[in-house]
Amino acid sequence: MSNYFRNVPNFDYVSRLPNAKISDYVTVKNFFKRGFLREDIFQELSFFTKYKIKGDDRPDNVAWNFYQESELDWLVLTCNNIVNIQTEWPLTQTNFDRFLLDKYETHEKLNDIHHYETIEIKNTDGNVLLKEGLEVDKSFSMTYYDDITKKQVTPTVFTKEITNYQFEEKIENEKRNIYLLKPRYLNIIYDDMEEMMSYIKGSSQYKTETLKVADNIRLYT
């Protein structure tokens, strides 16, 4: 993320340190300035490619594998609207195991039934009548009329058990499916970021494109 933070403009804030003079300032990064992808880019699916996060890869690992530049980790996160990496990025296997035990307390409870899901049901023609993976009650059942056999059919098996472990594992695996901006469009993002992170001249706080200075009300009281 260091490459991203270098682009964040500065803000001279009135110092509140104990020994500070009335006119002293502290330079900080203005994190109210946040980079993002333009809406027209987000809407253009041809700009992106699907990517599956492998193993314990971090955003910088993904950036290196895809762009050969680990400092584009911020772009990996931005492309997927990831703000909280702790909850929106796949956990490492060690942290996943720790999370499971914290939540379910014992290994035995991981095998308890969390819910039931449908299995795929087709008729004799091969048409799907019931999709796989729909969450249903344990008592769920169905009957359909088969045009080929001319009979009412009631399948003997409709659902399957989903354990706590399978439920949590599915959530983690879904986080692994992300989208990445194709490398050929990187220059567009660089230009947009430079514009987004630049201050516009006209404000009383404006000093340069990369620096604003806070009003010091103590100088006027």
Q: What is the pLDDT of residues 170-205, one digit of tens each?
A: 999 999 999 999 999 999 887 877 776 677 887 778
pLDDT digits (tens, 9 = 90+) for 36-65: 777 888 788 899 999 999 999 999 999 999
Question: Whole-model pTM?
Answer: 0.73
Separation of alpha carbons 199 and 68, rounded Å: 31
Q: Locate tokens 């340069």: which residue?
A: 208
What percent of the chain is modeled with pLDDT above 70?
A: 90
Pairing of strands 10-14, 211-213: parallel
Stretch (H or E) spanning 166: helix 164-175
Instruction: Tell me: pLDDT of 2 over 70.
Output: no
CB atoms within 10 A of CB 39: 8
